[in-house]
Amino acid sequence: MKLTHLDEKDRPKMVDVSDKAQTHRIAVASGRITMSPEAYEAIISEKTKKGPVLQTAVIAAIMGTKKTSDLIPMCHPLTLSGIHCDVEELPKLPGFKLTVSAKLTGQTGVEMEALTGVSVGLLTIYDMVKAIDKGMVISEVQLESKQGGKSGEYQRT
């Protein structure tokens, strides 16, 4: 199998998408962070020293989504048309699930943008609460679905 990010001499390259048709593309990714009951309660009650954790995580997720091409070497800089973030409280873990949806009309997909947004958002939660719980675990960062492009639809089952 030929890898698309290597040229004929096996050197790294960014894929040329100039001949690809523009299509409407959407990707949704999610991830979880689990923590101690004390850390969870501090976040829910907004009693952390660093401010409103979940709101800050959403802003960080949006920023991470927008900055993906600065962080992942072979990602194209994209003009995103929309980013949506959702944080779900999971008191039984305890922890949170962060979901990011990214969309555009363009020549390449937005899966990496959604995944990066989730990762940055979850890392922000960790950063803001690590004084309470350094044992938090970020897990299950995964693509949930994608639409558009040559490879078509994908839905995690």
pLDDT in tens, 114-138: 999 999 999 999 999 999 999 999 9
pLDDT tens readout for residues 59-93: 999 999 999 999 998 899 999 999 999 999 999 99
Whether the Cβ atoms of residue 109 and residue 25 lie closer than 8 Å to each other: yes
Among this protein's residues, is 127 annotated catalytic?
A: yes
Give the tokens for residue 104: 């555009």
Hey, where are the domains in the chain? 28-146
Q: What is the mean pLDDT of the chain?
A: 92
* CATH class of residue range 28-146: alpha beta
Confidence of residue 109 (pLDDT cuts 50, 70, 90): confident
Mean pLDDT of 49-54: 93
* Of 139, 151, 143, nearest in space to 114 by CA: 143
What does each C-alpha distance from 36 to 83, 92, 133 come to in angstroms? Answer: 30, 11, 7
Catalytic residue among 16, 86, 127, 133: 127
